[in-house]
Structure 1
Amino acid sequence: MKSYTTRAVAFVASAAMLALTACSAGSSTSGGSSTGADQSLSLGLVAEPASLDFTTTDGAAIPQVLLGNVYESLVKQDESGKIVPSLAKSWTVSPDRKTYTFDLVDNAKFTNDKPFTAADAVFSINRVKSAWTTSLKSAMDVVAGAKALSPTQLQVTLTKPSNGWLFRMTTRIGAMFSETGVSALATAPIGTGPYKFSKWNRGDSIVLQRNDGYWGTKPQFQQITLKYFKDPTALNNALLTGTINVITTVQAPEALSQFTGNEKYQVIEGTTNGEVLLSFNNSKPVFRDLRTRQAIRQAIDHKALLDTCFAGRGKLIGSMVPPTDPWYEDLTSVAPYDVAKAKSLLQASGAAGATLRLRLPTLPYAISCGQVVKSQLEQVGLKVQIDQQEFPAAWLTTVFKSADYDMSIIAHVEPRDLGAVFSPTYYTRYNDPELQQYLAAADAGDEAAQLDNMKKAGRRLSEQAAGDWLFLLPNLIVADKNLTGLPQNAITENFDLSRLARS
């Protein structure tokens, strides 16, 4: 039986957090002096959730705030993508790779004062299968059963070996719920995390309070306010005027110069797994012809687009795999920019002169990049009609749920989401049996088979022009100079608030 125990890792992480807290206790915030016990912090974000219930509402905005901060999972990812303990302090895997036995922490409790036990884990896993309605719930289909061996030991049995299941347990489907705390998930989430939900001022902010009964290392800040801005200039001005302390995701990279030369601020630039996808509705007749899809890819000058709509920040990738995944390959050469070739392909497919609806979410990068896409596609003979869909509500309803669109632009930030995004039931409506074969073989095989088949899957998507990957978002953060604990890379669904402190 293979054993995964990480007490040493947990000890190092705890020691680091203790050192961080010790060196910053008693420091002052930009709003005045205070002790470490009553400090507050404000962060600026862009996409406000439509609901707080990620079991019934898709979109990355909810787990960005709640996962890891209010809700915890059995296991989580560290910043390098490694699976490490959370509510499970260790686990073992049977030789046939179908049975996982988790040893749980014994001192965690929910913010409704109910203790966290293996029974709650069983409830949470089963509820994904029985009550969740979002597209990501299918990752739990491989589970044959879950049972509590004791209050602190959980056993999960799979129907077949799966490389992806434990990884998916680090995402929102792995969130642990209290059976007595799921009656109002959309407005009153209850978890075991370092923070608890306080209030939601719709259209403005979400406020979290430190969970003083937290079982782990308590965060420094007593209150975190997450403020939402639709306009990137307003977001930047909020930091410049001291309204917020952090811009979590820079939306106007061309404006970074006002911060880089200012000693009051720090600028962090790393990577993400946020693939900015020009998505095709593959159920539409115009996109059923491979030549049309290839023509669109080759009509786009990706470097010029990146320079124009995101100030050259980010990375060109060529498929749905970021460099932080083990099976990444640079596939930008699969569809090189070639106007003449694009025109020829459109003539051959009969799509020359066609009008395509580009339905964009009201997110700054999507609006900016959409204008470039429109211009470049019209240069090869397509007509592009842009309309904006309020995000998240209208875009999720019209594009994501109803697939009432031809093309769209959105950043997919869920980790390792290639198979989820390109499937017949997702908004891309992409049905490719060969791709599904590669994904199934990757999930069931050994490490070498997983690597080989995931590379094949990434290349298959690119060669079949299932969409067009405009670029990979960078992790661009601007914050007060003395704030520590900010992530260099953003490769998980959540923004970890528990590590934030002042030096």
Structure 2
Amino acid sequence: MSTSTNHAAGLLRRGAVALLVALALLTTACSTGASPSGTTASQASRTLVIGATAEPTSLDPTADAAAAGSQALLYNVYETLVKVDSQGQLRPLLAQAWDMSADGLTYTFQLNPLARFSDGTPVTADAVAQNIARIQGQPVAAKLKTAMAVVASTQVVDTDTLGVTLSRPSVNWLYEMASTAGIVMNPAGFATATTATSGSGPLSVSQWTPGDSIVLAKNAGYWGTPVRFDEVTFRYFKDPNAMNASMLSDQLDIISNLQAPESLAQFADPARFSVVEGTTNGEVVMGVNNGGAPTDASVPTGTGNPALQDVRVRKAITMAIDKQALVDTTWGGHGVVLGSMSVPTDPYYEDLSGLYPYNPDEAKRLLAESGHSRLTLRLKPAALPYATKAAQFIAAQLQEVGITVQVEELQFPARWRETVYDRADYDLTIVAHVEARDLSTFANPNYYWRYHNADFDALITQADSGTVTEYAAGMKQAARLLADDAAAVWLYALPNIVITKPGITGVPQDAQSLSFDVTTIARA
């Protein structure tokens, strides 16, 4: 067995890839600071209050397609075999070492024998195997089942040693195991996972008030290095101005991801605030219902406008939108314009934003050629600030080329998930996709964009089964094919703009995973 450092090098030699896992928008949380009025300075130093946007609908991060649950609970409450650090590299967590067979099919994990769940139960190889089986066989978010579909079998070698055999080599699988799909919860807590947590992390949920907050308390019996805070609270705000006001009045220690960039000047005083600005792996996407029939009989067919199955209409929609003007108008110029489902931190990134540039005259010509000069489409964005601002901007621009847009904002995540993600009852939608390397979602015919392209699917599978070099080259081909087909309208890469109180350290510049990992945070 290798140590994690040696393993990482060995893994690259054998053809795995160092994926940069990103965080995202939908919900983000960060770090330390002051405490609400009424607490002493000593108490404040041991608490952390984080302002975030999208709240989870369940305490089980695997039950929901949204990233909100993982933001608060991944790494903090629930741990994984390996984790992604602030530089996007894999590090040991529950597994203190791991190795991969020469053919790339079998991973062997050596668990840390000290690891314990919050009730003191040991984290064993059998417990991890049961979690993998749960993702494969129980009702969880569909994208997690897709991530785990490549697992052929697990082998409990002994109490602390687990073997996992894949049906084919996969560059992505180990990185999926560092995210939501790889969460290890106490099997005794499976039945109550939506309302009570049973993780092995340094914090446990002590209070959940839907619509308001999640409070995490320090796990006194944590098996590893403890966190620096006795209590961490994630407070949720639907209105970004209300979150800003709470920060300005010292009720928050951190704004996890600023949702109103035009308000950045309010936090310009370095004596009161620090601004951390970087990037995420999140693509803000105007999803298009491509109208393909799902392959899973239990998945609804969807109710997209048939006109969107014509590539000329999809290209026209893309060319009718001035993406840079959208970023400047709705996001204060922060964010890189995109042309496919890839961000600049991806190893296969290529700037395809100029493939179908803003050209309303060409958009009108394509619509006339397709027979859809006068078209009405339903745009159902997530009711999150970045999405609703973009929806209004886009509706006005599409009107100029003859497309009438009916905007219906959907509460996120519950109503958006039910309407768009589950039933595909939409024509267009806007939401940020914050998972790392999520280009492959377009290879899933049951995903909400209902996109089918056999050539694209083959490229994704071939790339994931290859070497590091083959992976990057193959994914670049797939990203270009997707862009050529105008399968969606990729708007911009979501920036990471975090506001903190002075003296808070350990907040990474770039969001490299879905978690806001409070184990790295300290107060000077």
TM-score range, shorter chain: over 0.9
TM-score normalised per structure 2: 0.90
Matched, 1:301 2:308: no
Matched, 1:269 2:277: yes
Task: Sort the Cα spacing of 1:132 and 1:173 in 2 relative to 1 into closer, same or farther, 3 A.
Answer: farther
**Aligned equivalents of 1:216, 1:133: Cα separation in 2:** 29
**Aligned equivalents of 1:112, 1:100: Cα separation in 2:** 28
Matched, 1:483 2:504: yes
Q: Deviations over 1:466-503 (max 9, x none)?
A: 10111111000001011111121112111111111111
* Residue 405 (structure 2) aligns with: 384
Matched, 1:79 2:118: no
2:214 to 178, 188, 206: 206
Query: Higher mean Cα deviation, 420-429 or 141-150?
Result: 420-429
* Residue 6 (structure 1) aligns with: 5
The two structures, once aligned, show a CA RMSD in angstroms of 1.8
**What letter corresponds to residue 129 of structure 2 in structure 1?**
V
Contact conserved, 2:3 with 2:96, CA < 8 A, in 1? no
Contact conserved, 1:37 with 1:222, CA < 8 A, in 2? no
Task: Sort the Cα spacing of 1:279 and 1:413 in 2 relative to 1 into closer, same or farther, 3 A.
Answer: same
**Aligned equivalents of 1:322, 1:38: Cα separation in 2:** 37
Q: How does 1:246-265 map to 2 (within 5 A)?
A: 246-265=254-273
Query: Higher mean Cα deviation, 38-47 or 66-75?
Result: 38-47
**What letter corresponds to residue 268 of structure 2 in structure 1?**
T
Contact conserved, 1:422 with 1:429, CA < 8 A, in 2? no
Q: Which has the higher contact order (CA 8 A, sep 6+)?
A: 2
* Residue 430 (structure 2) aligns with: 409
* Residue 349 (structure 1) aligns with: 370
Q: Deviations over 1:253-297 (max 9, x none)?
A: 000001023521001100001100001000031111110000111
**Aligned equivalents of 2:34, 2:58: Cα separation in 1:** 34
Find the residue that maps to 1:276 and give its secondary structure.
Answer: strand
**Aligned equivalents of 2:7, 2:453: Cα separation in 1:** 44
* Residue 98 (structure 1) aligns with: 105
1:461 to 482, 487, 495: 482
Q: How does 1:231-250 map to 2 (within 5 A)?
A: 231-250=239-258
1:176 to 156, 172, 184: 184
**Aligned equivalents of 1:35, 1:346: Cα separation in 2:** 65
Task: Sort the Cα spacing of 1:103 and 1:35 in 2 relative to 1 into closer, same or farther, 3 A.
Answer: farther
* Residue 64 (structure 1) aligns with: 71
**Aligned equivalents of 1:230, 1:297: Cα separation in 2:** 29
Find the residue that maps to 1:224 and give its secondary structure.
Answer: strand
Task: Sort the Cα spacing of 1:267 and 1:213 in 2 relative to 1 into closer, same or farther, 3 A.
Answer: same
Q: Deviations over 1:388-446 (max 9, x none)?
A: 11111111111111111100000000111111255310110011111101100011111
2:347 to 297, 317, 326: 326
**What letter corresponds to residue 239 of structure 2 in structure 1?**
D
**Aligned equivalents of 1:435, 1:421: Cα separation in 2:** 8
| Structure 1: gaps (5+ residues) | 10-26
* Residue 459 (structure 2) aligns with: 438
Matched, 1:143 2:164: no
- Aligned pairs, number: 485
Find the residue that maps to 1:304 and give its secondary structure.
Answer: helix
Matched, 1:291 2:284: no
Task: Sort the Cα spacing of 1:155 and 1:344 in 2 relative to 1 into closer, same or farther, 3 A.
Answer: same
Q: How does 1:187-206 map to 2 (within 5 A)?
A: 187-206=195-214
Query: Higher mean Cα deviation, 38-47 or 336-345?
Result: 38-47
Task: Give how far 1:37 is off.
Answer: 10
**Aligned equivalents of 1:350, 1:444: Cα separation in 2:** 42
Contact conserved, 1:319 with 1:469, CA < 8 A, in 2? yes
**Aligned equivalents of 2:364, 2:3: Cα separation in 1:** 55
1:122 to 123, 129, 151: 129
**Aligned equivalents of 2:69, 2:410: Cα separation in 1:** 19
Task: Give how far 1:28 is off.
Answer: 7.8
* Residue 13 (structure 1) aligns with: none
* Residue 24 (structure 1) aligns with: none
**What letter corresponds to residue 513 of structure 2 in structure 1?**
T
**Aligned equivalents of 1:182, 1:37: Cα separation in 2:** 35
Contact conserved, 1:247 with 1:478, CA < 8 A, in 2? yes
Task: Give how far 1:251 is off.
Answer: 0.4
**Aligned equivalents of 1:309, 1:28: Cα separation in 2:** 30
**Aligned equivalents of 1:103, 1:36: Cα separation in 2:** 39
**Aligned equivalents of 2:167, 2:270: Cα separation in 1:** 56
* Residue 167 (structure 2) aligns with: 159
**Identity score, percent:** 42
**Aligned equivalents of 1:436, 1:445: Cα separation in 2:** 15
Contact conserved, 1:109 with 1:214, CA < 8 A, in 2? yes
Find the residue that maps to 1:390 and give its secondary structure.
Answer: coil
**Aligned equivalents of 2:246, 2:35: Cα separation in 1:** 16
* Residue 15 (structure 1) aligns with: none
Task: Give how far 1:30 is off.
Answer: 7.5
**Aligned equivalents of 1:494, 1:169: Cα separation in 2:** 13
**What letter corresponds to residue 206 of structure 1 in structure 2?**
I
Task: Give how far 1:191 is off.
Answer: 0.4
Q: Deviations over 1:159-193 (max 9, x none)?
A: 11111111111110101121112221111011011
Task: Sort the Cα spacing of 1:406 and 1:448 in 2 relative to 1 into closer, same or farther, 3 A.
Answer: same
Contact conserved, 1:112 with 1:181, CA < 8 A, in 2? no
Task: Sort the Cα spacing of 1:4 and 1:293 in 2 relative to 1 into closer, same or farther, 3 A.
Answer: farther
**Aligned equivalents of 1:227, 1:28: Cα separation in 2:** 14
Find the residue that maps to 2:188 and give its secondary structure.
Answer: coil
1:45 to 39, 52, 59: 52
Contact conserved, 2:35 with 2:44, CA < 8 A, in 1? no
**Aligned equivalents of 1:28, 1:229: Cα separation in 2:** 18
Find the residue that maps to 2:381 and give its secondary structure.
Answer: strand
Task: Give how far 1:113 is off.
Answer: 1.7
Query: Higher mean Cα deviation, 191-200 or 261-270?
Result: 261-270
Task: Sort the Cα spacing of 1:37 and 1:191 in 2 relative to 1 into closer, same or farther, 3 A.
Answer: farther
1:88 to 85, 89, 95: 95
Q: Deviations over 1:322-366 (max 9, x none)?
A: 111111111111111111111111111112111000012211111
**Aligned equivalents of 1:40, 1:317: Cα separation in 2:** 39
Matched, 1:111 2:118: yes
* Residue 22 (structure 1) aligns with: none
2:448 to 427, 434, 439: 427
**What letter corresponds to residue 260 of structure 1 in structure 2?**
A
**What letter corresponds to residue 431 of structure 2 in structure 1?**
I
